Structure 1
Amino acid sequence: MKTYLYKSEILLIVLSAIVSGIAFTVDNLGVLMWISFIPLLYILIRQENTFIKIFKIGTIFGTTYYLVILHWIFNLYPFEWLDLGKAKSMLILFCGWILISLLEGLVIGIVLGIFKYLKVKSNLLNIFTIASLWFVIEYIQEQGLLGFPWGKLAISQVDYLPVIQSVSLFGSSFISIIIIVFNGMILEGIINYKKSKVIAMKSIFIAILIFVINISYGYFSLNEENYGEKVNVTVVQGNINTTEKWQNGDTLKNFNIYKKLTIEAVENSNKYGKKTEVVLWPETAIPVDISNDSWILEEYKELAKSLNITFMTGTFYTDYKNDCYKYNSIVAIDSSGKIEDIYFKRHLVPFGEALPFEEFLLEKIPIIKELNLVDGDLKAGEKSVIIDDNNSKIGCLVCYESVFPQLVIESVKDGAEVIFIASNDSWFKDSKAVYEHNNNAVLRAIENNRYVVRAANTGISCFIDNKGRVVERLSTLKQGYINSSVDIINHNTLYTMIGEYIIYIIILFIVCVFLIKKFI
């Protein structure tokens, strides 16, 4: 059995990946995802393939797909805050773009290669098998320090809220199953149309039925209303660019920008009868360690007391009382000026906040140490921390953490009634990365039936309700603030309750298919 690919096959695979990437990246073109997998599925299902050939197919598709959706990586150019020079910056970005895309492609290639041992005579079963393998792919991409679940198919559907409401049942990867099965059924309808119109119509009917059931659930879910307590929150966006933010001489200046905006926001909220109870600033809004720089902590305490609010901000913090490690954190200060609690970021950004395989990499590629955005490695937190603000129980995430569903599940299971995200996307200016990052927050809101409050240094800052609707929003590269009332919700979704156990169901299905192939 041949292991090589014909040029026509490669073209189909690349076409499928590019269209999928466009569906993921371009606004209002997510609908393309419902047909973009047809060429890929055609090669996988309608031909006899070896493991090596399927591995090549998956790797080519995955690498191309990620090359398309990660084009925004070049918005980091020219690493102004590191002063590496234009040529060196471009080389690093190009190598990173290729390497990340290739690694994600290899994951897709290896997992899809298993299909060789699962393919049966029933194409309907084969389609569900491939969809299940894709679920496994997205699960693997969430794991470990190098986890990078950026390309989940569900993110392409955020513009269509009725389509993604079912993530509250089985998570965002459930949408991937629906999309791939739909593609497969349409493919079967096209292929069988001339041979048997009955089979073709049955296949298309199944595709439409699956879509209608999913979207009907979505409309039903969107029409549900919430009744309960509310808390008034203000989000402040200083819009301070990366270079200015990290310059030591600008610390006081930047603090005064945030302070002025905060005072104005709280005073205005009083005028309109919705007094701000909680204020949230972005990730490392003022990038100093509050355990060392007592003046900034005293300023934070005074701000909370003078405005009679709970004040929360992203900050660095060194835990001298316990382990003496430095953390990227969110500190909460109550209206009496007392620190309520501190949340330590649990999932650090590799090569930005922590250096994986440090000894090996520093020996082989010494320049890589220069890419760390902080002085020395940060320590990852080990647990979710719930800020009990009397009126609400707040779960916290810092920036990149919002792309990992399990972190939000842990917070909600620990009692979070609303989720606060302190983020910093200023590195990426106004690129697609900023919007795709925010789309992840939309999915987290729906998955867990929680309002999400997001504060970002240069945007997007927003309030997202428990159905994924953006209630208030401050766009990128704008200075200002937004106020809104947030519903306090303590009813958990099915997905929150069963969480990662879904992967075991998927694996059980794959094992059953293997046994069917082997013994029947």
Structure 2
Amino acid sequence: MKRERRTWWQRVILLSISAFLLFLAQPKISWDPLIWIGLIPFFLSIEDTKWWKAILYGELFGTIYFVLNMYWVAGVITRELPSVIRHASGELGILPFILLCAIEGISLALFAFIYWMIRRWIRSKLWSVMAIASSWVLIEYVRGFGQLGFTGGRLSDAIYKRIGLIQTMSFTGIWFILFLIVLINAIFFFILKSSSFSLLKKCTFIIGVF
């Protein structure tokens, strides 16, 4: 059996970094260049591991990301809970908030499983990055489908100030933007994994793009 290159805690650190980078890219803080590289640590965290571990890491990543991105919901729930449930402490509102984020995190767990299958079965890097980006878009579509759908925390929210880029939404909706964001993250990820250049040159190249 092939030994995993990273320990579980290293993977947890990587996916936590990824969730934090994506949070920084979102509106309010709006360090939007991070959206183009924020998924790279997450990809690393689910690389070269078992399928069920990839699902768990994906769920944890999703939960952390939505906790960070929807922090304001926790304030609303804790403030309003006593008026809905008599004698209930407002602090108990943290529990349904965490549950909400965990439910939303299921979409990232599903993506992690699909990512695992792509990396296992598709050898071409070109088709891999296309499949990775396409699967993210498909999952986002399903996540927002129907009356119970939820669209909060989409990566496309981060580029709201990029007028030239968001004008494409009049033709493609948000789907092209989501595809492009994940595609570029995946391309940079494969560049970092390439053995052709030193780590310093790889990082210099990616930083130079921005």
Map 1:322-337; keep pairs closer than 5 Å.
none
Q: Say if 1:152 and 1:173, in contact at 8 Å, map to a contact too.
A: no
- Look up the SS of the partner of 1:151 in the other structure: coil
Residue number in structure 2 paired with 1:266: none
Matched, 1:39 2:44: no
Map 1:434-513; keep pairs closer than 5 Å.
none
2:131 corresponds to which of 129, 132, 141: 129
Residue number in structure 1 paired with 2:79: 78
Distance 1:5 1:53, change over 3 A: farther
Q: How far apart, CA to CA, are the structure 2 residues paired with 1:58 and 1:43?
A: 9
**In structure 2, what residue type is equivalent to 1:41?**
F
Residue number in structure 1 paired with 2:106: 106
Larger relative contact order (Cα-Cα within 8 Å, sequence gap ≥ 6): 2
Q: Say if 1:21 and 1:68, in contact at 8 Å, map to a contact too.
A: yes
Tell me how large the CA RMSD over aligned residues is: 2.9
Map 1:146-225; keep pairs closer than 5 Å.
146-192=148-194, 195-196=196-197
2:24 corresponds to which of 19, 22, 25: 22
Distance 1:177 1:83, change over 3 A: closer
Richer in helix (by share) = 2
- What per-residue deviation string (whole Å, max 9, x for no partner) do you get for residues 53-73 of structure 1? 221221111111101011001
CA shift for structure 1 position 108: 1.6
Q: Say if 2:58 and 2:108, in contact at 8 Å, map to a contact too.
A: yes
Residue number in structure 2 paired with 1:13: 15
Identity of aligned residues (%): 24
CA shift for structure 1 position 32: 1.3
Residue number in structure 1 paired with 2:54: 54
- Look up the SS of the partner of 2:89 in the other structure: helix
Distance 1:186 1:110, change over 3 A: closer
Q: How far apart, CA to CA, are the structure 2 residues paired with 1:27 and 1:6?
A: 30
Distance 1:81 1:49, change over 3 A: closer
**In structure 2, what residue type is equivalent to 1:6?**
W
Q: Say if 2:144 and 2:151, in contact at 8 Å, map to a contact too.
A: yes
Q: How far apart, CA to CA, are the structure 1 residues paired with 2:166 and 2:87?
A: 41
Distance 1:14 1:80, change over 3 A: closer
Q: How far apart, CA to CA, are the structure 1 residues paired with 2:87 and 2:70?
A: 20
Q: Say if 2:143 and 2:150, in contact at 8 Å, map to a contact too.
A: yes
Q: How far apart, CA to CA, are the structure 2 residues paired with 1:114 and 1:38?
A: 16
CA shift for structure 1 position 182: 1.2
- Look up the SS of the partner of 1:82 in the other structure: helix
Name stretches of at least 5 consecutive residues in structure 1 with no aligned partner.
212-520
Residue number in structure 2 paired with 1:90: 91
Q: How far apart, CA to CA, are the structure 2 residues paired with 1:179 and 1:87?
A: 42
Number of positions where the alignment pairs a residue of Structure 1 with one of Structure 2: 199
Name stretches of at least 5 consecutive residues in structure 2 with no aligned partner.
none
**In structure 2, what residue type is equivalent to 1:29?**
W
Distance 1:187 1:115, change over 3 A: closer
Q: How far apart, CA to CA, are the structure 2 residues paired with 1:103 and 1:157?
A: 25
Q: How far apart, CA to CA, are the structure 2 residues paired with 1:110 and 1:66?
A: 15
CA shift for structure 1 position 74: 2.9
Larger radius of gyration: 1
CA shift for structure 1 position 170: 2.0
Q: How far apart, CA to CA, are the structure 2 residues paired with 1:74 and 1:101?
A: 10
Q: Say if 2:27 and 2:158, in contact at 8 Å, map to a contact too.
A: yes
- Look up the SS of the partner of 1:129 in the other structure: helix
CA shift for structure 1 position 146: 2.2
CA shift for structure 1 position 133: 1.2
**TM-score, normalised on structure 1?**
0.35
**In structure 2, what residue type is equivalent to 1:78?**
R
Q: How far apart, CA to CA, are the structure 1 residues paired with 2:51 and 2:167?
A: 36
CA shift for structure 1 position 169: 2.5
Q: Say if 2:54 and 2:116, in contact at 8 Å, map to a contact too.
A: yes
**TM-score, normalised on structure 2?**
0.80
